[in-house]
Amino acid sequence: MLKNSPLKLYPPTCNIIILGLLALLPCSVLAEQASSESAALIEQGRRLYQEGVIGSGKELQGSRSGKVELKGEQAACVHCHRHSGMGSVEGDTLIQPINGNYLFDPDKAQVANMDPRSGKKFNQSHPAYNEGSLAVAIATGINNSGRKMQALMPNYALDKQDMAALTAYLQQLSTTWSAGVDAETIHLATIITPDVDANRRKALIDTLRLSVTQKNGGTATASSKKGRRHMASAAEMVLGTERKWDLQVWELQGTPDTWTAQLNEKLKAQPVFAILSGVSNSTWEPVHNFCENNHIPCWFPSVPVPVTTQSFYSLYFSRGVLLEADVLAKTLAETKPKRVVQIRRNDTAATEAAKRLADSLSKAGVVTEDRIIKEGETISAQSLGELTADDVLMFWLRGNDLVELGKVAPPSIKTSYFSGELAGDAMPETWRANAHLLYPYELPNERQSNLTNFHAWHKMKKLPIVDEYLQADAFFAVEFLTETLSEMLDNLYRDYLVERAESMLGRSESMKSEQQVRERQMRGKTGAAIHQHSSSIYPRLGLGVNQRFASKGAYIVHYDKDGKLAAESDWIVP
């Protein structure tokens, strides 16, 4: 900004000439210069806030009691105040918001729900800060009300330029709703890749649309007081922050290398606040990268191969087939079979899973061999030839291939493993005696208890269960998004949505489980439901800071004498 770059004083005549030349510059040039300087200052503030790097390029240093305790990335503000600036909870300490509205313009009566454990504690009001009072607070730990700040808050010795940069960054941080939000509506989209068959596609769309329609039916917006508000929290009702949802269905076409361009066009036509659910049978990487690059939360899609590199905006149920590969690798590294033969198609999910397993077993000294079923061919006895009794088979196959497998006699080996993620419920009966499934889901009896509300809702809506796994995922995604947005109140920032998911998921699942157990006990029912700890098909859902996979383990299961799945292992977290 020009006001942060004062004109150097020259002799009077020179100053007159310089000012005259500035006056001759077009307004657009001056505006462009000011905008460039402002952007550079904000970027400097961002690096300090998020990365712990000051303007000189050196590490930020934070101290308590006069001693330097934090340096560089560890000293960055983002660790406690988060990307959104909306604060967090550390033990019993509520770390208040420091984004633009809350720090510099609290007269707007901004309200944030601070404590994810209770849902009843809100941010504290305070006088507005300016650059000077903020500098004092940061340097001394004394806020602008004259009170000592929390002991967790370090003191920072920032020079004038770094302080100006941090102030500029905070002044614009989370001050306006993110794209895809207006006073009445939150715009969302779901994404379907072209490899998904028509039945699964329809099952997902029907589940999402009916769920959103029901949610909107109980929503009263700021301009319309009509609505039952049965899904609103007390704070949401008082503040009038409810919004209806608009759901777009973005169906992709063609090969994955064209998807990014398609998504960019769809986003340009209708900006969205988040991607709700979604489904793919192949790669999800272009969608994942699209969400990361555009800072759009990707809210629990159903995909077999999530992207596992460090990300911020993409939240997944589990690591899919990669998790299964790690669970099997951990198991086989202990028993060390002579050879593991992997039977698969040459598709993305099977290829990535087989590679992951082979790499892991190689480190443990276990030999693997891939046998690929070519396009247009079906699995045959020839595919299973030249096996020894000591070999282990791993099938990375989907339902249609398993139907064909049922026509082939099982070889004389001790153990065959199957991917639960890919196989679903399609295991051929003739193979069940020695079959073991890598099972990232809750065990069947407990899962059906967990999905009581899901099944009751589908029955009420007269919606057939075509794919229980996919439809339960979509139902959960809508329910959890509804709950999370309700607690966000009017603070509709994309980064904050992700942060709230991190803090709320485990608590939300625990509370739902306790409530359902109490309800069953009141009806005189006990047993399996007492151990319930999820409202989805996955057990033990939970997220922490920077965690992006809600369910982190799997069982190994087998078929008992009655043909039902039974646990063979404890819950394995590799």
- Which residues are 572's β-sheet partners? 554
End-to-end CA distance of the chain: 51
CA–CA distance, 322 with 214 (Å, rounded to integer): 35
How confident is the model at residue 269, as a pLDDT? 98
| DSSP letter assigned to residue 257 | G
**Cα 136 to chain center, whole Å?**
37
Alpha-carbon distance values, 152 to 89, 133, 166, 172, 546 (Å)? 11, 20, 19, 25, 20
Element (H, E) at 37: helix 27-46
* Three-state secondary-structure class, residue 439: strand
DSSP bridge pairs for 65: none
Give per-residue burial for 18-42: e unless 16+ CB within 10 Å, then b: eeeeeeeeeeeeeeeeeeeebeebb
Per-residue pLDDT, 208: 98
Which parts of the chain sit beneath pLDDT 70?
1-34, 106-109, 115-120, 222, 224-232, 510-534
Q: Tell whether pTM > 0.75.
A: yes
Largest CA distance in the chain: 100
At residue 397, the 3 state secondary structure works out as coil
Where helices occur in 154-296 by DSSP H, the ranges are 160-172, 198-217, 234-239, 259-269, 285-294
Measured CA to CA, the distance from residue 114 to residue 302 in angstroms comes to 30
Answer left, alpha or beta for residue 65, where phi above 0 means left and psi between -120 and 50 means alpha: left
Q: Which CATH number fits domain 321-439+555-567: 3.90.228.20, 3.40.30.10, 3.40.50.2300, 2.40.50.100?
A: 3.40.50.2300
473 vs 211: CA distance, rounded Å = 12
Q: How far is CA 47 from CA 44, 51, 128, 483, in A?
A: 5, 5, 24, 33
Q: What are the counts of helices (DSSP H) followed by strands (DSSP E) for the chain?
A: 18, 17
Name the CATH architecture for the domain at 185-316+448-491: 3-Layer(aba) Sandwich (3.40)
Same fold, 185-316+448-491 and 321-439+555-567: yes
Are 235 and 114 in contact by the 8 Å Cβ rule? The answer is: no
DSSP 241-254: ---EEEEEEEE--S
Rounded Cα distance, 78 and 235, in Å: 27
Q: Which own/partner contact pairs does 506-510 have at CB distance under 8 Å and 24+ positions apart?
A: 506/541, 506/542, 506/543, 507/116, 507/117, 508/480, 508/483, 509/533, 509/534, 509/535, 509/536, 509/541, 509/542
- Establish how many alpha carbons lie within 13 A of residue 574's alpha carbon, considering only the half-sphere containing its beta carbon: 24
Alpha helices in 489-557 (DSSP H): 494-522
Q: In angstroms, what CA-CA distances link 156 with 44, 53, 104, 145?
A: 16, 12, 20, 19
Position 229 scores a pLDDT of 52
pLDDT at position 68: 75
- What 8-state DSSP symbol labels residue 48? I
Which stretch of DSSP H or E encloses residue 418?
strand 415-419
Which distant-in-sequence residues (6+ apart) come within 8 Å of 245 by Cβ? 185, 186, 187, 188, 212, 215, 216
243 vs 538: CA distance, rounded Å: 29
User: What would the pLDDT profile of 157-177 be if each residue is shown by its tens digit?
Assistant: 999 999 999 999 999 999 999
What is the phi/psi pair of residue 216, to 5°? -65, -30
Residue ranges of domains in the chain: 12-172, 185-316+448-491, 321-439+555-567
Q: How far apart are CA 132 and CA 144, in angstroms?
A: 10
